[in-house]
Amino acid sequence: MCGRYATTRTAQRLTDDFGTTLAVAEDAISADFNMAPTKQAPLVIARAADDSSAVTRELLTAKWGLVPSWAKDPSIGNKMINARSETVDEKPSFKRAFAKRRAVVPLDGFYEWYQGPDTGAGKPPKQPFFITGHTPDGGGEGLGVAGLYEFWKPKDDPDAEWLVSFTILTTAAEGEDGRLHDRAPWLVAAEHLDAWLDPAPHGKDELFALLHPATPGRLQAWPVSTAVNNVRNNGPELLRPLDAE
């Protein structure tokens, strides 16, 4: 699963990178080196104007943890941070969003925790790794992973503001790519943004043909400090590679 990530690009950089308009205040988007579920995060979506068939991309913020439109309590989103691609078109929580509310989650990279083998003295502590399109010296590119989004508000309060929330799509990480974790997010390449974000219905196979897994075999991965385990820690030092030893 993807349960923690880093997103550090400014609102201006994100609008440039993803070709969007900005649908929130610029200061609503700030660097977060330890993005965790329930936080507000940048999200790229595409919507058709009410009076036009034209589709435009928007950059907004949304709560990580999808809250289905039929939910009675938004706390259900705490369990909906990831959606398994194998069943996303069947699960009541995700199938409506998968049909017409696909999104891209901008990030620098994400964290996974590796459990080393039991040597007989008990299980060693889990070692966090950062998986990214960047290089340790800061080169490379940011990523965009496939997601879904949804709108929700309480049925007994029609005047309440809409809650926008999202989930990240995951797939199996096979072979050596599964050493850190057996699941991986899907990546959306720049040339496939329009097709993935298009709110019109598309077949599952057609959509997944646009994506590829975000795994260490495709990306850089290096061990980082266990300080990332605590969500209160939030700074660029969390991304710093550990010494080889």
Q: What tens digit of pLDDT does each residue of 125-175 get?
A: 889 999 998 877 777 789 999 999 999 999 888 889 999 999 999 998 765
Neighbours of 51 (CB within 10 A): 6
Inside any domain, residue 45: yes
Bridge partners of residue 63, in order along the sequence: 40, 165
- The pLDDT score that the predictor gives to residue 139 is 72
- Tell me how far apart the alpha carbons of residues 79 and 77 are, in angstroms, rounded to a whole number: 5
Inside any domain, residue 110: yes
Model confidence at 19: pLDDT above 70 = yes
Inside any domain, residue 168: yes
β-strands 163-172, 55-64 pairing? parallel
User: Could you tell me if 80 and 86 are in contact, meaning their C-beta atoms sit under 8 angstroms apart?
Assistant: no
Bridge partners of residue 102, in order along the sequence: 148
Inside any domain, residue 244: no
- The pLDDT score that the predictor gives to residue 119 is 65
Bridge partners of residue 220, in order along the sequence: 132
Inside any domain, residue 179: yes
pLDDT digits (tens, 9 = 90+) for 75-132: 999 999 999 999 999 999 999 999 999 999 999 999 999 877 766 667 778 899 999 9
- Tell me how far apart the alpha carbons of residues 103 and 168 are, in angstroms, rounded to a whole number: 9
Inside any domain, residue 95: yes
Q: What is the CATH number of the domain that holds 228?
A: 3.90.1680.10
- Tell me how far apart the alpha carbons of residues 134 and 128 are, in angstroms, rounded to a whole number: 17
The range of the structural domain enclosing residue 28 comes to 5-239
Cα dist from 76 to 5, 37, 92, 151, 226, whole Å: 21, 12, 13, 14, 28
Number of compact structural domains in the chain: 1
Name the band, by pLDDT with cuts 50, 70 and 90, for residue 213: confident
- DSSP codes joined into one string, 156-210: T-TTSPPEEEEEEEEEE--GGGGSS-SEEEEEE-GGGHHHHH--S---HHHHHTT
Inside any domain, residue 245: no
Inside any domain, residue 134: yes
